Amino acid sequence: MFKPRVYVSRQIFPDALDLIEKTAEIELWPHDEPPSPEQLKEALSDVDAAIINVMDRIDGPLLDAAPKLKVLSQVAVGLDNIDILEATKREILVGYTPGVLAKSTADLAFALLLAVARRVVESDKWVRDGNWKISHHPMFWLGSEVNGSTLGVVGLGGIGIETAKRALGFDMKVLYHSRTRKRDVEKEFGFKYASFKRVLAESDFISLHVPLTPETHGFIGEKQLRSMKKSAILINLSRGPVVDTEALYNSLTKGWIAGAGLDVFDPEPVPTNHPILGLDNVVVLPHIGSASSGSRREMHLLAARNLISGLKGERLEECANPELYETLGI
């Protein structure tokens, strides 16, 4: 019996591969290094569907070279790497994996917040470098107070809500700004909606959870950083280009803000000689927001189910262009 062909651009959990193998033949990219744009283009040229990664750039010219493609299933919640309009024009369903990664990503947001506030990475290095010479000093390594402070969440989607919920365990006041006001969430958890200007001005910690769009590119620049408290700490788990990197560097070296915790960067990977890596008041992670074993497995399984549904002519569990359903008659 004929089986459709599927390309998988990264390693994924074995049970997700097993799920796909029941329906399709798999071509799995075998390397730790991602495929180049040319390799990705060649791989997609003769397949019916693909599981892709957020670092795979999908645009019109690439899709023109993939005439058989029916389904793109992304292992991520962000979709800024895919030209959804071009995919929709070609009647290609685009799946993604929201929801299942919200809790683990929020955990990391709070890990970054605590690491920067309490100078965890900086003091760990100090100890490893052999500088701990006396048993205790009451003024050693004083950090920022977390308990009872104010957290400002910018973008109250699934990850933003989960991050804000974690703040309640630290008796923090939560302000938020989002495109859509969430009155039901306000009522349930006591979060306070505020203007973007107020969130920047009043928050001790600001956590970014907005998608990367033309409107949010460079969303946090010099003006916004200067409007924050000098004691504020910025956390970014959205996308690197949401923050103007040069302005952030200036803010960290000139005292406009106290520190930053970054799981994303512009560009990625961050160049090893980038000056921001030499600063003690910033913690930089390699885009691992959802990287818990449970979350990644669930993401891979959801991506596999999305792909299989599309190949069977069924609706996806999570679809970025559901307007295609009517066109495709599903």
What residue ranges do the domains of the chain occupy?
Answer: 5-100+293-328, 102-284
Q: What is the pLDDT along the chain (330 residues), one digit of tens a residue?
A: 689 999 999 999 999 999 999 999 999 999 999 999 999 999 999 999 999 999 999 999 999 999 999 999 999 999 999 999 999 999 999 999 999 999 999 999 999 999 999 999 999 999 999 999 988 888 999 999 999 999 999 999 999 999 999 999 999 999 999 999 999 999 999 999 999 999 999 999 999 999 999 999 999 999 999 999 999 999 999 999 999 999 999 999 999 999 999 999 999 999 999 999 999 999 999 999 999 999 999 999 999 999 999 999 999 999 999 999 999 999
5-100+293-328 and 102-284 share one fold:
yes
Active site residue 287: yes
Q: Alpha-carbon distance 161 to 176, whole Å?
A: 9
Q: Which of 27, 186, 268, 317 is catalytic?
A: 268
Query: Nearest to residue 146, comparing CAs of 88, 232, 211, 54?
Result: 232
pTM over 0.75: yes
Structure tokens at 16: 């997700």
Active site residue 239: yes
Q: Which of 119, 177, 209, 287 is catalytic?
A: 287
Query: Nearest to residue 57, comparing CAs of 34, 26, 90, 77?
Result: 34
SS3 content of the chain, % helix, strand, coil (to 5): 35, 15, 45
Rg of the Cα trace of the chain? 22
203 Cβ contact list (under 8 Å, min separation 6) = 150, 151, 152, 175, 228, 229, 232
Which CATH class, in words, describes the domain spanning 5-100+293-328? alpha beta
Structure tokens at 218: 């460079």
> Quick one: fold of 102-284?
Rossmann fold (3.40.50)
Q: Which of 177, 239, 300, 305 is catalytic?
A: 239
